[in-house]
Structure 1
């Protein structure tokens, strides 16, 4: 069978690049708003016990960036039945082999738990060692340049210790062998990855490869000993912080989606291989070739977001050879640019990614929303790895406007291993707090230091830090960030009229798009930050502080409505643009707008549509909160229709269009566009925690015109299941996990309410009848 013609495209490397051109009280005011600047970074490093190992590198000179080092160590062990742990830290990434077998595919985290320190891994080797001689092999990749996700130490190095229980068996020292891996080429031809990425293009010259070097029987006697750089906790890597997130999920090598018949001889075509979705992939091939031929590997996302991302290149040796490029790239299509005359024996890919499962689910009777959620989950997952990312191509950066929405989606859609990524981000954000108490993102970062005040307020507030605690119940993390949040809020002042004195920061961004009323945005975001801080204070039993913040919020709310409400909408004094829908929405979700203004705000939101997909989430949530769920669904479908119905991409976009029609470069994989997923769980299905760690939650469905909703939420207490049938008879089926309780809300228009066949006694709240249920299975039926 010949290869399908549609999968082979006749053009060379240069043409491909062109083709691919196609993010209180008075006391409290004195306290929260005081000028109190600490003299150093305000982080709390997690320092391990004493490290007795040495940091090592090669005796040979290394390139300043994009250096690859091969380490080997042979050692003898007698007891193989005791739990065994390898502690290892590198700048920047490593691949670990034991006795010739791959143990870990891409260990290490991009550097920067705070501006000075370095992450380390603990790898469980229990049951993997063999009695007598063992060989440990590490391939290390040193980025050697700064990026929006990485703070370079400036020195390629590795430190490692092997433990059985508390007994130290082996350390990194000058008994290790180390050389620069000669096949990795530090400098590629242009174009280079854009300045935001610390990673370089990965170029491998197979003619310089070291055959079988990872195997135990490889003769390394002519390799030089490793060079010792320092012992234990040493500069420039400093304190070592234990990896706070899981190792990557690795699904192994897999065939591409399209059928390709092997073997075949390339006639100079570019081979187009379809990936199942937009994921984090590494390409593999097996070929027969003459030496000196250059193969290029890249995806359709190579210039995603208007800037060049990463590609891989391989220079062939003579004969049969197989190769996998180790730096992950992302996209929907993998392109292999294979010179004429090379016999292609196999093409595969490996997907790796954050180790979590798509444990949540939601289905409704309108498939548009199902497709939207499917794309939202896929987009969320491809923007998770070392950190939450805005996009996996152009930046891979932990912008906190994005993180707030991503974490909100993850609490509903993913299993609870995902919570560790939000915790890591929270600690990093506050551990990078500067001496003047400002915080900024993205971090970790070596080439960025600008504060976006609006994003920072959202991060530390109600939808950011507080939502993490509400979903996890992890008070220890809240205790660590509480004081740094307080210091940051101390920077913000109120004007004489009682509204916020807007701090411009370094980049007063607000949102993509036009008609941004910045003073309104900042006032609402500051109020949400205070709201989150007050709730964190209550959780820590700092009631006096919480009461003081509540007093401050009360005054701000009065001033906000007196100064900004005019002619049926909110507007700041000097703002001349069209009415800002974002600010109206944030006024509602923050609690600054009371119900007497809802009808007027609803009229505004029917006509004003300026928000980007990022801010649109808050506009839609405001519609749900005001009771206009039908219009919320209609607006959601109208606004997101183009990207949901598009058949080219499995992910959601940065803006309302692609490329030039988008915002910020127009990436096609931006998880901030997935806010609708959260809203369908939280409002359409009505599932929402009401106390920390889901000890209590509510089921208050607002289905609108949807007739059937089925949702499953993997909470820290167990799985919550809710099914809503919004037909002639209103039905709810609810499964409540152990050690939690649910408050059930039934619209007031229904009279007879039966729970498991028994009439229930209920209380009444505006628009609803409500009753509490304990853990168990419940069938609720109601009639008008």
Structure 2
């Protein structure tokens, strides 16, 4: 069990650093894929109730105290901004004892740039634990040595996007049980002091904003199958689902045999580029080994030379520490499976940051993160919110002097702006949506100025729409028939819409008035320039009508209801959106009231991947490999936007104001016979369950104590409505004025309720 510092206590951590960054005296510690062992023995006469160790590392560390694992893969990829480094805070008091104590740290220095990591250029560890009667500080009295057993496997090497290397461990060269209190540390050299906390190249230290990983422990494979050749046996371990795992083995062998370990996502479904594998060189006799660089896949392959006796093969799953707290079920098994696969894909693309995929890149593309964060609010417990907060802080933290933003970040070998993805992130579906679901006004206030600076760099032309922001990668989406000018204008409007709501929340009345005026003039200019009577199109655009462009116009509120019939015809005939943008088509059709058409299109488009029995995750494109986009990974959480739409629209759960103080429960059932959803909001559990027959509609809504609800019955010709057995509405009239809620909308008959369970029944 880990003892990380709880979020409520983080502000009490003593910022007075006394420790030094340390490495090997034999240095320099600059080579890629360097592994270092650190060791310190200290005598303790009194164990404090709480002893917070502040630990920083470039790049990852494993902490042992008195021979026991305390932290499995600590540290976060650099950095919170282009210069600085994260540190962890861990309560180590439960692992200490009176008398002699041994602190041991294994450090993995990536030593490479990547799409998810900014290398400092030098390996280093900082350990600072100060409490009453106890001081454990990294300095030159610590022991440190390079572990020669850790080496780098040969070609093919991971593609340039990954800062991690393929790990080869040669057991013949291992240092011994150096983590053990009984180990003779004299064989290790003294550490070299590299500078105090805050010194270059690691610079300012920023407290880790997300939990330490959840360690599920070593587990047996679901099953093991063997495929043999003349020289080797390949043992294939089936995982229960696509997971982040570290593979483990116990074997008996002679010295010098090479065992190769990889997953199906390395061998077959690699997204078009080499990713990560592991190798192990045996020593003589019985031995065990766990490769600490995490992999992912549905299956794990151990390619084992003939003559080796396999004693045990298993795996350790680790991942972001959150609960799978949301759920969804319906009368349609397809959408149940879609929701579950979306949830699994989301979880496997969360770790140091949101990821596009956990194999080819592990990169925090900010458009992906926008979709993923939206899914997390409906699928996971509130501990997941910290990852969205980290993403948004990093997005603004990497802002350049010219106000531009880019993604992925953190990154050491990428700095190109994707204007559409960045606009999505600072706007309605990004920063404001984070605030709406969390109520975290402090983060909104901290990031608002950077978002405003960025949007101020977009320019308005003489027509009242944007000057096309032709910088970096004007991507738009995977696929063809991208009407980029319409797409960029739509994302800009959504960004302004989010900033307008944010300004209101922060009491910035002048900004709010400016954004409101801009939205009014922009909407008029947008429709004048792009609406041609049957579709939204750039007059200079010559390809097929872009379904994505219509979707963004609807969800942004740029398209009024009189345009919906024409837009529906486009959705019924044009299918150009990637799985990433299909979320917005799905949402737009629900907002238009075309529920059955929305469900039919989503089922048609996602059918092949949802019904594929070989994968528990959703794909990057509509197929795998060459049939997909961008290399075609099989685990891209941007494809899971349907999860959000099913919970938010089909079952109707959404925050009416920040932090779920007021909650909408307004299902849009179409012809779906039944559906239910539950989410773990910051205010407590919210649930919605309906049954839909030709003559009757029943709805059970649960609103957490302390919150209020606005519950809606679809306005579909019902004559009477009962609430908890009491007749409250009849033939267009509310009979209980205390529950009446009228806001001018005509899609639902709405009722105000307090926290609690509410049973509605409507009959025609």
TM-score (normalised: structure 1): 0.92
Task: Indicate which of 282, 285, 307 corresponds to 2:246.
Answer: 282
Q: Does 1:666 align with 2:618?
A: no
Is the counterpart of residue 100 in structure 1 residue 100 in structure 2? no
* Cα shift readout 1:504-537 (whole Å, capped 9, x = no counterpart): 1200000000000000000000000000011111
- Asked if the contact 1:633/1:704 (under 8 Å) is kept, the reply is no
Q: 1:460 aligns with which of 426, 429, 434?
A: 426
CA deviations 1:387-410 (Å, max 9, x no partner) are 000000000000011101101100
Report the counterpart of residue 759 of structure 1 in structure 2: 727
CA distance in 1, matches of 2:183, 2:259: 28
Contact persistence 1:48–1:241 (CA under 8 A): no
Aligned pair partner of 2:285 in 316, 319, 328: 319
The answer for the alignment partner of 1:246 in structure 2 is: 211
1:137 is the counterpart of 2:104: yes
Q: Is contact 1:707–1:726 with CA below 8 Å preserved after alignment? A: yes
* Deviation (angstroms), 1:47: 11
Instruction: Give the C-alpha shift of residue 626 in structure 1.
Output: 0.6
Offset, 1:747: 2.2
Q: Which residue of 1 is the match for residue 557 of structure 2?
A: 591
CA distance in structure 2 between the aligned counterparts of 1:472 and 1:266, rounded to whole angstroms: 58
Give the alignment of 1:299-318 within 5 angstroms.
Answer: 299-302=263-266, 304-318=270-284
Q: Is the 8 A contact 2:48 2:131 kept in 1?
A: no
Give distance in 2, aligned partners of 1:140 and 1:453: 37
Pairwise CA RMSD: 1.6
Q: Any conservation in 1 of the 2:663–2:703 contact (CA below 8 Å)? A: no
Partner of 2:77, secondary structure, is coil
Matches within 5 A, 1:251-262: 251-259=216-224
1:63 positional shift: 5.5
SS at match of 1:376: helix
User: Structure with the greater relative contact order (CA < 8 A, sep ≥ 6): 1 or 2?
Assistant: 1
Q: Quote the offset at 1:170 in angstroms.
A: 1.5
State the partner residue of 1:191. Answer: 156
Cα deviation, 1:434-485, whole Å, max 9, x if unaligned, reads: 0000000000000000000000000000000111000000000001100001
Q: In the alignment, which of 235, 243, 261 is matched to residue 200 of structure 2?
A: 235
Residue-by-residue CA offset, 1:114-166 (whole Å, 9 max, x unaligned): 1100000011112210101100000000000100000000011111111225x
CA distance in 2, matches of 1:726, 1:294: 61
Q: Distance in 2 between matches of 1:172 and 1:260?
A: 47
Counterpart of 1:489?
455
Deviations 1:753-773 (A, max 9, x none): 110111223345313211100
Could you give the per-residue CA deviations for residues 524-560 of structure 1, whole angstroms, max 9, x where no partner exists?
0000000001111111001221111010111110000
1:613-658 deviation per Cα after TM superposition (whole angstroms, max 9, x unaligned): 0001101111000110110100110010000000111100000011
Cα distance in 2, alignment partners of residues 202 and 157 from structure 1 = 19
Q: 2:25, 2:510 → 1: CA distance?
A: 60
Structure 1, unaligned runs of 5 or more:
1-44
Measured in 2, the distance between the counterparts of 1:308 and 1:222 equals 38
How far apart are residue 604 of structure 1 and its match?
1.1
Aligned pairs (5 A) from 1:467-616 = 467-616=433-582
Does residue 1:179 correspond to 2:163, yes or no? no
Count of matched residue positions in the alignment of Structure 1 and Structure 2: 736
Alignment of 1:364-763 (within 5 A): 364-727=330-693, 728-748=695-715, 749-760=717-728, 761=734, 762-763=740-741
Residues 287-298 of structure 1 aligned to structure 2 (within 5 Å): 287-298=251-262
Q: Distance in 1 between matches of 2:191 and 2:635?
A: 42
Q: Residues 772-783 of structure 1: matches in 2 within 5 Å?
A: 772-783=752-763
Q: Is the 8 A contact 1:266 1:343 kept in 2?
A: no
Task: State the Cα deviation string for residues 12-69 of structure 1 (Å, max 9, x = none).
Answer: xxxxxxxxxxxxxxxxxxxxxxxxxxxxxxxxx9997231111100012345110000
SS at match of 1:127: helix
Report how far residue 779 of structure 1 moved. 0.7
Residue matched to 2:737: none
Distance of 2:188 and 2:534 partners within structure 1: 77
Q: Is the 8 A contact 1:379 1:671 kept in 2?
A: yes
* Per-residue deviation, 1:232: 2.2
Q: Secondary structure at the match of 2:255?
A: coil
Aligned residue for 1:770?
Answer: 750
* Counterparts of 1:169 and 1:730, CA distance in 2: 66
Change (3 A) 1:350 1:513: same
Given that 1:292 and 1:317 are in contact with CA atoms closer than 8 Å, whether structure 2 keeps it comes out as: yes
Whether 1:158 aligns to 2:125 is yes
Task: Determine the C-alpha separation between the residues in 1 that align with 2:136 and 2:235.
Answer: 47
Q: Deviations over 1:216-274 (max 9, x none)?
A: 0100113211001111211000000000000001011111011569xx99961211111
Structure 2 unaligned segments of length 5 or more: list them: 1-10, 729-733, 735-739
